[in-house]
Structure 1
Amino acid sequence: MSINVVTLIGRVGTDPEMKYYDSGSVVCKLTLAVNRRSRNSDKPDWFNLELWGKTAEVAGNYVRKGKQIAVKGSLKFNTWNDRQTGALRSSPVIQVEQLELLGSKRDEEGDMGDMSPDNF
């Protein structure tokens, strides 16, 4: 038996980046800042998220930088060969299967501040 399930709750660090393909597929990429449960950590962990299909369209329409969301999906690694060195590179990505919009109406109306990685 094997299990690959990731569940995260955090704040979106960038507005969604949408890409539409000729085949009709759509992908949405964004980042998510998640605070650790430990009180000793003053900086969040940053995750790259990838959403496809209807979930991607929902994110593109309703998710913005600073919005609190919950996601459930699986961990995958994008791999490629570095153009300059030819070395094999990889990057972890959460492939999101479920998206839940969190927070209150008040959160949407208020100033969420700058959620860029440089400010943490």
Structure 2
Amino acid sequence: MTINIVHLIGRVGGDPDMKYFDSGKTKCRLTLAVNRRTRNSDEPDWFELELWGKTAEVAGNYVRKGKQIAVKGSLKFDSWNDRQTGVSRSKPVIVVDQLDLLGSKNEGDNSMNDMSPDNF
């Protein structure tokens, strides 16, 4: 048995990057800054998030830079060849299945928690 589940809580690094495809699908990319429990440094770890469908639409409507969110998803690696050098490259991406908006109402939270596509 194999398991690929990632849970993260952090703050969004920039406004959502939305893409709308002719097929009707919606994709959203976000960056997420997450502090480690055991590290004493002020530097967070950064993760790239990829959201699809209704979860992407919710992120596009309600998530902004600095907003605290929780995500659940799986880890994948995007791979490509560098155009200039031809070297094979890859980067980790979290494919988000569930998005939870966190924070207080004072932060502009619309109290819309558990934004997984199953809840629509």
Category of TM-score, reference length = shorter chain: 0.7 to 0.9
Structure 1, unmatched stretches of 5+, are 110-120
How does 1:22-101 map onto structure 2 within 5 Å?
Answer: 22-101=22-101
3-state DSSP of counterpart to 1:106: helix
Tell me by how many angstroms 1:39 deviates. Answer: 5.0
In 2, Cα distance between equivalents of 1:46 and 1:52: 20
Q: Encode CA deviations 1:6-32: one digit per residue, 9 max, x unaligned.
A: 000000010000000000011000100
Structure 2, unmatched stretches of 5+, are 110-120
Tell me by how many angstroms 1:86 deviates. Answer: 1.2
Tell me by how many angstroms 1:107 deviates. Answer: 2.1
In 2, Cα distance between equivalents of 1:12 and 1:42: 16
In 1, Cα distance between equivalents of 2:95 and 2:24: 19
In 2, Cα distance between equivalents of 1:29 and 1:80: 18
Bigger relative contact order (CA 8 A; separation at least 6): 1
User: What is the TM-score normalised by the length of structure 2?
Assistant: 0.87
In 1, Cα distance between equivalents of 2:40 and 2:59: 32
Matched residue, 2:105? 105
Tell me by how many angstroms 1:108 deviates. Answer: 2.6
3-state DSSP of counterpart to 2:64: coil
Matched residue, 1:2? 2
- Partner amino acid for 2:40? N
User: What is the TM-score normalised by the length of structure 1?
Assistant: 0.87
In 2, Cα distance between equivalents of 1:102 and 1:40: 24
Matched residue, 2:12? 12
Identity, in percent, stands at 77
Q: Encode CA deviations 1:30-64: one digit per residue, 9 max, x unaligned.
A: 10000111251211100000000000000000000
3-state DSSP of counterpart to 1:56: helix
- Partner amino acid for 2:69? I
- Partner amino acid for 2:80? W
